[in-house]
Structure 1
Amino acid sequence: MFHRIRRVVGRWQAVLRWRTLLGDETAVRNLELLALALKEKGWRCVELYEKQEYGFPVPLLWVYASGMAEDVGMVVTVRATPGGTWAYFEAGKGRAGFLSPCGDAKTAAERVDRLLKYRMFPNPEWA
């Protein structure tokens, strides 16, 4: 029984990886919306979308602080999720880096904003 469940989950993960790798246009569109929302909050963003230029398999958005805390930042990507949907994830953490579903860039920007503020000033207020 356990092996059967494991095979089914493995197939779904392969499908989601495949959709993510082929969904560059969707990822870029969602990352651009997130970048606009984050820039309104004062964060700097670098769009790393071109596979040939940057060598990343998926589009990425590097978000970082300006001024004194330039060493604080995160890289965000968009991944396919079950049900034909998409979500923002912190790159490098895999599916454990879930931030927010796509479709509401304002909520995703608030989540990224809180996480980065917490990294700059570890305080329960930002958790």
Structure 2
Amino acid sequence: MARGLVQAVGRWRLVLEARTLRGHDPAVRKLEVLRVALMPLGWRCVGLYDKREFRFPVPLLWVYASGAADDIGAAVTVRALPGEMWGYFEAGDGRGGFISPCGDVKAAAEALDLLLKDRMFPRREWA
């Protein structure tokens, strides 16, 4: 399945990028759903959604730790996937920063939670 998705992304990269850039409002809605799912896990979130203010072509959600580890965080964005789907990605890593499909926000929040915990406490097992 993953190999087929990678091949589809390669063939349709320009179409997917165009859908990503046109999908600002749906992306903001999906990022807000993720924000709500991350709050009970203890993460703080700041939505960076205004194109004119932040001069970034897609909306971003800055997710970070509160307290002693304020420098740990991730900028998350939403990108188009094949089959009219959307996915959460860590910004700056392109399609290599895939976190989770948007269809399962609980799994996305858990995946991002593990990613950030690993950055805070490297080499520790998170069960």
Using structure 1 for the length normalisation, give the TM-score: 0.89
CA offsets 1:37-85 (integer angstroms, 9 cap, x no match): 1111110000000101111100000000000000100000000000110
Instruction: State the secondary structure of the residue aligned to 1:109.
Output: helix
Instruction: Report deviation, 1:124.
Output: 4.4
Report the aligned-residue RMSD.
1.6
1 CA distance for matches of 2:61 and 2:72? Answer: 14
* Unpaired segments ≥5 residues, structure 1: 1-7
The verdict on how the C-alpha distance between 1:107 and 1:83 changes in structure 2, with shifts beyond 3 A counting, is same
CA offsets 1:16-45 (integer angstroms, 9 cap, x no match): 000000001110111000000111111000
> Which amino acid in 1 is paired with 2:120?
M
Aligned residue-pair number: 120
Which position in structure 2 is the counterpart of 1:42? 42
Higher Rg of the two aligned structures: 1
Structure 1 residue 25 corresponds to structure 2 residue 14? no
2 CA distance for matches of 1:126 and 1:93? Answer: 23
Using structure 2 for the length normalisation, give the TM-score: 0.89
Which position in structure 2 is the counterpart of 1:53? 53
Structure 1 residue 91 corresponds to structure 2 residue 87? no
Structure 1 stretches of at least 4 aligned residues deviating more than 6 Å after TM superposition: none
* Unpaired segments ≥5 residues, structure 2: 1-7
- Identity across the alignment (%): 66
